[in-house]
Amino acid sequence: MKAKRIIFGTPTEIANPADLSRSFLFPFSCVDTDLVGSPEEVRCTSQHRLIVTVDHHLLLPWEFADPELIKVALYSGARPYDPSRIVEPEGATFEVQEERRIGYI
């Protein structure tokens, strides 16, 4: 599998005043890593845009300030998910780490 280099530009918020959610546009360029530093790099680099919307139901519980919200949106939007590797909700089992209290409480 060939590797690609993806470089993100400056994100901008795109808003619909009638919508309670928030959307961010992340421009990015993409090029095969084999071409980085070569004379063909500029010609073979493609430009793209990724729009990530954070639903209003998540905005309040998350309570992120704008810089943190933009980082979380980028991380969530830039990750390609393979639905075939995600378990069905019914009967799903997860193991999580539990925080342990120290002291006499």
- On the question of pLDDT at 62 being above 80, the answer is yes
* Stated pTM of the model: 0.73
pLDDT band for position 77 (cuts 50, 70, 90): confident
For 76-84, which contacts have Cβ atoms below 8 Å and span 24 or more sequence positions? 76/52, 77/24, 77/26, 77/50, 77/51, 77/52, 78/6, 78/8, 78/26, 78/50
Give the pLDDT mean for 13-37.
Answer: 90
pLDDT band for position 2 (cuts 50, 70, 90): confident
